[in-house]
């Protein structure tokens, strides 16, 4: 089987799985989190078999959105903050999975992941006694993200060999 057929087979399988998830929701009244989770799982399975980054990104975002949606639907998240945190963690998960699979990582998911996680945390603790503490310490998340990017960049930089002069 050549590469074109492999891509078409994978695309067809993803479409079938997504269609079955949406159909099951329409007929059996599954929660929206089940549909999001099923679609995310289809992308993550495709990523596991192909190691293509284009499957990891939607898989992690949809999977984490499913978790956040499930938390909100269960009544545990009236402010919507846990949804934002879950999606932010999904973006951070993209970075971590990519860092473990590749020898180095794309750092862009740290930006939306950090922003969504901080905004969600702000909504969750809004009005609580910890609001001031979270507001004062939240820049540390940016510092930690920056350190991770720097360490990754330095780890990938080749060390110079002995000079021949």
pLDDT value of position 151: 80
Which token pair is 68? 């956040």
Q: Is residue 163 a part of any domain in this protein?
A: no
User: Would residue 165 count as lying in a domain?
Assistant: no
Question: Is position 39 within any domain?
Answer: yes
162 occurs within a structural domain: no
What domain count does the chain have? 1
57 within a domain of the structure (yes/no): yes
pLDDT in tens, the chain (165 residues): 455 557 777 778 777 877 887 787 777 777 778 888 888 988 898 888 888 888 999 999 999 999 998 888 887 777 778 889 999 999 999 998 888 888 666 888 988 998 888 888 877 777 666 666 666 777 777 788 788 878 877 776 666 666 555
Q: Give me the domain span that covers residue 139.
A: 3-156
Q: How many CA atoms lie within 13 A of 60 on its CB side?
A: 21
40 C-beta neighbours (distance < 10 Å), count: 22
CB 114 within 8 A of CB 88: yes
Q: In angstroms, rounded to a whole number, what is the distance separating the alpha carbons of residues 144 and 114?
A: 10
> For the whole prediction, is pTM greater than 0.75?
no
Is residue 161, in this structure, part of any structural domain at all? no
DSSP state of 76: S
In a domain, 77, yes or no: yes
Whether residue 81 lies inside any domain: the answer is yes
């Amino acid at each position: 089987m050549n590469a074109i057929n492999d891509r078409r087979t994978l695309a067809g399988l993803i479409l079938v799985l997504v269609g079955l998830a949406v159909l099951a929701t329409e007929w059996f009244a599954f929660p929206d989190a089940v549909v999001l989770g099923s679609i995310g799982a289809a992308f993550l399975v495709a990523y596991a078999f192909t190691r293509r980054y284009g499957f990891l990104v939607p898989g992690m975002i949809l999977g984490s959105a499913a978790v956040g949606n499930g938390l909100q639907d269960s009544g545990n998240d009236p402010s919507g903050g846990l949804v934002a945190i879950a999606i932010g963690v999904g973006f951070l998960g993209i970075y971590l999975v990519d860092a473990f699979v590749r020898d180095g990582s794309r750092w862009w998911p740290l930006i939306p992941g950090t922003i969504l996680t901080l905004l969600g945390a702000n909504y969750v603790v809004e009005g609580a006694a910890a609001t001031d503490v979270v507001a004062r310490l939240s820049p540390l998340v940016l510092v930690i993200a920056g350190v991770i990017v720097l360490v990754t960049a330095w780890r990938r930089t080749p060390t110079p060999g002995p000079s021949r002069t």
